[in-house]
Structure 1
Amino acid sequence: MVEPSEGSRSDIPWWIWALAGALFFTYATLSLRIHQRMLSHSFDLGIFEQIVRSYANGHLPVSEIKGPDFPILGDHFSPILALVAPVYRLWPSPMALLVVQAALIAASVLPLTLWARRALGSPAAAVIGVCYGLSWGLASGVGSDFHEWAFAVPLLACSLTALATGRMRAAVWWALPLLLVKEDLGLTVVVIGLVIARRGDRKLGITTAAVGLAGALLATMVILPAFSPSGSYDYWHWLNGSEGSEGGLTDLLYKSTIGLITPEVKISTLLLVLAPTLFLALRSPLMWIAVPTLLWRAASELSTHWGTAYHYSLVLMPIVFAAFIDALIRRNPSRSSLRRYLAGSAAITLLVLPQYPLWQLVQPATWREDPRIAVAHRLMDRIPDGATVQASNLLVPQLTNRTSASLYGWPDSRPDPQWIMVDTRVPFNQRWPLNVLQEAQALGTARAQGYLTVSSEQGFVLLKRPS
């Protein structure tokens, strides 16, 4: 077994700070470059900017993209986003959100790497820190706009580190804010409480689990329905199936058994979650904390929840790597065995790295300037601040900081906007919600209703409603 490094518990070596700083720079660079290339989306960067902008302006969050004055506290329960408001007041831009997200995710490397250093030594900690920081789940999240789950990443890293090192009360205090990140994380708090109870502090653990369950129920059964225009929590259908389906006992039995592992992409995702740890994470009780997230994703009817794209694996990465560290400590490996485990983890991390967004940073296309972007910004500059505007999906996040922007072609968008701006050259695989024919018909209808063509250049069409 490698001897732990000596020193005060508060000491963080310079190289761990350097690693966190390098990861922050990497994450921020990728996110900002995606946005500068006009590849960020209305769902979700545009929505989250409107939420944070609401908090920054001193009122409850609304999103015009979701619908006219749509109350976001009726959609998802994420009041922790109010913490971004001070940054946004200083820098009213979607880029502020992306930088905050990069900082939150990069910060999560500190507790995990420091714990690994004390228990396994500095070389092992360095390898684990790099593998965690470059893990595909974090990369997918960073490359997919901004999401509230970014707050959960450092909270989980701190909570699990405290739990594994016997600081149970600290583990609870780091876990409880998860209730303010998103409604599904209440179940994660429940499992954290159960693990604490299993480790000996039954009263604290059961109390934590009860608070987690109460928080999840309060959010989904009371707060969200109270604010929702529909009067209910709108995402139950992801678990219940499409509206109007008959369901029944047979359907329930299927979804709770075979349905959790089919189609095969669900198994592939689970294998990829565990692969960077050489499946050693399964030997740690900390891995139970990932079960709620894995279960609701597998049970969901939304296919994007099943795979490895987007942000859905963000919260899994600190859990699985904490379980990896814990499992290594429990195995008490020799130096040679530890080196083999770390080499395997590094090899898998590097093997899958080119398949995920961080690899974009070494691609020439990422740094190539598209002259159409300058045209788009020149046309958007003609839209006055505070105007109501409907725009194409990839244009919306470029407008949300200064206009009342909504998505062109989305049925819930505010009708009769003052301005319409459409990119008619969006590649086929990035078109949403309208296809080429629907978009052409919608533009024709707008012109028939009196909208005037202000400009049509490089595929961008700018229309204005007559005064």
Structure 2
Amino acid sequence: MLLFATYGAVSLRLQERMLTTGYDLGIFEQAVRSYAHGQLPVAELKGPGFPLLGDHFSPALAILAPLYRIWPTPVTLLVAQAALLAVAVVPIAGFAQRVLGRRGGMVVAFGYGTSWGIAQAVGFDFHEVAFAVPLLAFGLVALAEGRWRAAALWSLPLLTVKEDLGLTVSAIGCLMAWRGARRLGAGLAVAGVLGSALEILVVIPSFNPQGRFTYWDKMPSSVAGTGMQHGLGDVLYQFTLGLITPETKATVLVMLLAPTAFIALRSSLMWVCVPTLAWRLLSENPDYWGTNFHYSAVLMPMVFVAFVDGLRLWEERPRRHALIVAGVVAALLLPKFPLGQLLHRDTWHTSPRVAQAHRILKQIPDGATVAASNRLVPQLADRTLVSVFGFHGSGL
């Protein structure tokens, strides 16, 4: 409950202070609003009548439709995200307590709850990956404890969250097979690959106005080109170099492991991180490389479950030292990311300029067609047909 309240407070204050954006909170609100009215998701912010299933495959958003129908406001999405991110601590802390004892469980719960990847997601609007975080937490804990059927059942719904997560499902299946559940693991691995392939190559292009998947920039085109001209050694060198250069990429890898005192590397569960890290770090898009935005949220349950799994075979004293280091690192990082905003006076103060803007927006009638700045869009998306003024691809 404390994490839920903390995440909710950060998100809602950002919304009240007009620090959320049309890209992405407004887009997701328009999608959920469509579902709530019994329609396939449409985002006018992406273009007139743009079908959002032609952008990303995220039918899991429909789960929020009944809540949005009752409470049609962006607050619904932000509160739901806070709940989804917070509930993931339950299996992680429970697993840690069973392995490390009560104090160890508290340290791991603090580490996950204040982790920078979760904090960045909370501090940047709403995103569909919030659904993936608890699914991964429950699924990976089940995998670590050898509960194969539960691990598979928690993992399969990831296919409805986002198209790239099928590769994560496949990685979980491969680990399951390697750890002993060969038939079930192999089936899950195949289902993950086929699911992502079907969504990327068939479903999304069938909805997309241009008839294609528009995020091929996640693919390492420079590495692929190298493979056509050079030998295997050059390809492997370029591939490895692409994972750690420029410096931003190496930084995010260190930041990922530091809150676990690098102990997570001792667990084979860290292989589940590979699909997400690969498409991000080998992408041509620099936005994917660092610690910003929501892209690292799905990595947090992976890393902290791997942390506990990596400590299982250690004796009491080394465990205690590792937990102390992890707790100190988590505490030092906390003020540097959005959860630290709760300690700032400005977070709890609404400026006269923002208050005046709220009063002006109330004058816009419901159902109006409006072009607004990116920061004003989430204030209007629940009751108007709104687009981002001057933004390429916007609805007006």
TM-score normalized by structure 2?
Answer: 0.96
Alpha-carbon contact 1:255-1:299 (below 8 Å) kept: no
Segment of structure 1 superposing worse, 231-240 or 163-172: 231-240
Name the counterpart of 2:228: 249
Per-residue deviation at 1:400? 0.2
Contact 2:218/2:279 (<8 A) preserved: no
| Correspondence for 1:15 | none
Q: Secondary structure at the match of 1:405?
A: strand
2:370 is matched with which residue?
389
Q: Which runs of 4+ in 1 moved over 6 A?
A: 245-248
Whether 1:175 aligns to 2:155 is yes
Does the alignment pair 1:43 with 2:26?
A: no
Is the alpha carbon distance of 1:400 and 1:347 closer, same or farther for their aligned partners in structure 2, counting shifts above 3 Å?
same
Amino acid at match of 2:356: V
How far off is 1:284 after superposition? 0.4
Give the 3 Å change call, closer, same or farther, for CA 395–170 of structure 1 in structure 2: same
* Alignment partner, residue 14 of structure 1: none
5 Å-filtered alignment, 1:22-421, equals: 22-239=2-219, 249=228, 253=235, 256-331=239-314, 333-334=315-316, 336-415=317-396
The secondary structure found in structure 2 opposite 1:83 is helix
Judged with a 3 Å threshold, the aligned counterparts in structure 2 of structure 1 residues 22 and 347 are, in CA distance, closer, same or farther, namely same
Between the aligned partners of 1:370 and 1:292, the Cα distance in structure 2 is: 43
Decide whether aligned partners of structure 1 residues 399 and 247 sit closer, same or farther in structure 2, where only a CA change above 3 A counts.
farther
* CA–CA separation in structure 1 for the residues paired with 2:225 and 2:353: 49
Deviations 1:167-192 (A, max 9, x none): 00100000000000000000000000
Structure 1 residues 257 and 117 mapped into 2: Cα distance closer, same or farther (>3 Å)?
closer
Q: CA RMSD in A?
A: 1.6
Partners of 2:391 and 2:221 lie apart in 1 by 22
Q: Which amino acid aligns with 1:341?
A: A
Three-state SS of the structure 1 residue aligned to 2:264 is helix
More helix by share: 2
Counterparts of 1:157 and 1:259, CA distance in 2:
29
Is the CA contact (8 Å cut-off) linking 1:131 and 1:345 kept in structure 2?
yes
Shift of 1:383: 1.5
AA aligned opposite 1:262: T
Provide Cα deviations, 1:298-356, integer angstroms capped at 9, x if missing partner.
Answer: 0111111100011011000000000000011132x22x322211110011111111110
Are the aligned partners of 2:46 and 2:395 in contact in 1 as well (CA < 8 Å)?
Answer: no
| Deviation of 1:249 (Å) | 3.0
Partners of 1:250 and 1:261 in 2: how far apart?
22
Amino acid at match of 1:350: A
Q: Residue 365 of structure 1 aligns to a residue in which SS?
A: helix
The amino acid of 2:391's aligned partner reads W
Unaligned runs of 5+ in 1: 1-20, 416-467
Contact 2:218 2:280 in 1 (8 A): no
The 3-state SS of whatever aligns with 1:31 is helix
Give, in whole Å, the separation in 2 of the partners of 1:248 and 1:170. Answer: 40
Report SS of the residue matched to 1:413: coil
Shift in CA distance, 61/315, structure 1 to aligned 2, threshold 3 Å: same
Bigger mean CA offset, 170-179 vs 374-383 = 374-383
SS of equivalent residue, structure 1 residue 406 = strand
Q: Distance in 2 between matches of 1:257 and 1:285?
A: 20
- Which structure would you say has the larger Rg? 1
The alignment's TM-score, normalised by the length of structure 1, stands at 0.81
Determine which structure has greater relative contact order: mean sequence separation of CA pairs < 8 Å that are 6+ residues apart, divided by chain length: 2
Aligned length: 391
The separation in 2 between residues aligned to 1:237 and 1:314, in whole angstroms, is 21
Measured against aligned partners, the alpha-carbon deviations of 1:219-240 in whole angstroms (never above 9, x if no partner) come to: 0000000000110100003425
Distance 1:234 1:241 in 2: 14
Q: Distance in 1 between matches of 2:62 and 2:286?
A: 30
Q: Any gaps of 5 or more consecutive residues in structure 2?
A: none
1:132 Cα deviation after fit: 1.0
Range 372-381 or range 92-101, more displaced? 372-381
Distance in 2 of aligned mates of 1:380 and 1:246 = 51
> What's the secondary structure of 1:44's corresponding residue?
helix
Measured in 2, the distance between the counterparts of 1:135 and 1:240 equals: 28
> Per-residue deviation at 1:257?
3.3
Q: Deviations for 1:188-207, whole angstroms, at most 9, x for unmatched residues?
A: 00000000000111100000
Q: Report the AA paired with residue 298 of structure 2.
A: V
1:142–1:210 Cα change, 3 Å? same
Note the alpha carbon deviations across 1:124-148, whole angstroms, 9 max, x for none.
1011111110111111111111000
Letter in 2 for 1:330: L
Find the aligned partners of 1:350 and 1:374 in 2 and give their Cα distance: 34
For 1:183 and 1:35, the matched residues in 2 are separated by 28
- Aligned amino acid, residue 170 of structure 1: A
Identity %: 54
- In structure 2, distance between residues paired with 1:369 and 1:279: 41
1:248 is displaced (CA, Å) by 7.3
